[in-house]
C-alpha cells in the first residue's frame, strides 16, 4: 500500500502537471469506485490545489466540494494528455476540456474516490492522527498517544489514529534506525526512545520523499516511473542489516515485520 512518501510524491507531481482547465466529465468504468452520496459533483469545475492528508490525496476544487482519493493496495493516479485505450484496470477517468485526463487505475479495486462537501472534510479526517513531518509530531504528542498502550510499538505506530501516513515499510525502517525493538510495549518507552522515534520518523520519510517513494511491487508515480527508495532500505525484506547481523522476520497485526535483534532492543 502506498504510504506517506508515495502519496506525497503523487501529490507534488499532480500540482506540477495538472492543467489550469475545467474538468467537464467523469467516466466511471467500474461503478462504485467514486462515491458521491450527496450528489455534490457538478461540472465544470477546476482543481485549484492537490494536498495530502495521511495516505489520502485531496483535490481541492473551486466548487463547494473536494475529491478525496485513497489508493489502498494497488491504486495509481495517472495523467494523460491523450487517453490510452489499453488500460485494463482503469476504474475512473476525469476528463478535461479540450484534452487531458486524470486516470484512476487500480488492479485489485480496493481504492476509493469520495466526493465530500468542504464543510465536512474536517469531520472526514477527524480520526487521523498527527502528520509525522509536522511540528505537532513530537515527544509530548507520542507520550500522550502511547500512555497505557500495552501493544507492541510497531502495531501502535501503524494505527492511522496515532500517526497519519505511516505503513509497514517505513515503521520497520524507522524502528531500526532508532534502535528500538518492534515488540517493545508502547507504554514502556522512555523519553529518549520517543525522541529517537520522532527524529528517525522524520529522517526516513524525508529521505523517501526525496527518492520519490518506494516501489516494491505496484506503486508508480504519475508518469508511471518507479520510486527509488527501495534501493536504500536497511531492513525491510532484507536478509542482513547494514552491520551484517541477520534480520528476523515475524508477524505482527497480520503484517511482516523485519528487524535486527542485535541492533534493536
31 is catalytic: no
Q: What is the largest CA-CA distance in the chain?
A: 60
Catalytic member of 5, 6, 13, 55: 55
For residue 53, what is its C-alpha cell? Answer: 492528508
159 is catalytic: no
β-partners of residue 94 are 26, 102
Query: Which string of DSSP letters, residue by residue, matches 16-57?
Result: HH--SS-EEEEEESSTTSEE-TT----SSB-EEEEEEETTEE
Catalytic member of 2, 5, 132, 182: 2
For residue 34, what is its C-alpha cell? Answer: 467514486
CA distance 74 to 115: 20
Catalytic member of 3, 6, 13, 173: 3
Order of strands, edge to edge, in the sheet holding 75-80? 23-28, 90-96, 101-106, 75-80
Give the residue carrying C-alpha cell 522524520. 202
Order of strands, edge to edge, in the sheet holding 34-35? 34-35, 112-117, 65-70, 56-61, 47-53
2 is catalytic: yes
User: Nearest Cα to 117, choosing from 192, 206, 42?
Assistant: 42
3 is catalytic: yes
CA distance 231 to 140: 33
Catalytic positions: 2-3, 55, 255
Amino acid at each position: 500500500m502506498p504510504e506517506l512518501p508515495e502519496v506525497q510524491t503523487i501529490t507534488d507531481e499532480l500540482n506540477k502537471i495538472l492543467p489550469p482547465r475545467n474538468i467537464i466529465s467523469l467516466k466511471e468504468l467500474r461503478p462504485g469506485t467514486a462515491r458521491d452520496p450527496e450528489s455534490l459533483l457538478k461540472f465544470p469545475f477546476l482543481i485549484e490545489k492537490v494536498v495530502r492528508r495521511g495516505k489520502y490525496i485531496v483535490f481541492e476544487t473551486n466548487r463547494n466540494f473536494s475529491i478525496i482519493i485513497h489508493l489502498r493496495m494497488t491504486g495509481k493516479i495517472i495523467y494523460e494528455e491523450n487517453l490510452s485505450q489499453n488500460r485494463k484496470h482503469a476504474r475512473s477517468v476525469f476528463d478535461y476540456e479540450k484534452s487531458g485526463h486524470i486516470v484512476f487505475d487500480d488492479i485489485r479495486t480496493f481504492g476509493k474516490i469520495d466526493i465530500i462537501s468542504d464543510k465536512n472534510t474536517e469531520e472526514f479526517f477527524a480520526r487521523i492522527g498527527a502528520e509525522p513531518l509536522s511540528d505537532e509530531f513530537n515527544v509530548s504528542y507520542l507520550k500522550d498517544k502511547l500512555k497505557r498502550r500495552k501493544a507492541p510499538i510497531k502495531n501502535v505506530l501503524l494505527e492511522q489514529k496515532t500517526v497519519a501516513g505511516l505503513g509497514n515499510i517505513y515503521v520497520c525502517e524507522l524502528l531500526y534506525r532508532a534502535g528500538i525493538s518492534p515488540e517493545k510495549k508502547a507504554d514502556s518507552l522512555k523519553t529518549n526512545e520517543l525522541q529517537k522515534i520522532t527524529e528517525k520518523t522524520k529522517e526516513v520519510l524525508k529521505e523517501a520523499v526525496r527518492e520519490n517513494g518506494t516501489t516494491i511491487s505496484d506503486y508508480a508515480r504519475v508518469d508511471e516511473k518507479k520510486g527509488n527508495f527501495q534501493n536504500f532500505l536497511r531492513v525491510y525484506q532484507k536478509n542482513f542489516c547494514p552491520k551484517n547481523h541477520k534480520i528476523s522476520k515475524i508477524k505482527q497485526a497480520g503484517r511482516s515485520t523485519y528487524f535486527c535483534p542485535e541492533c534493536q532492543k
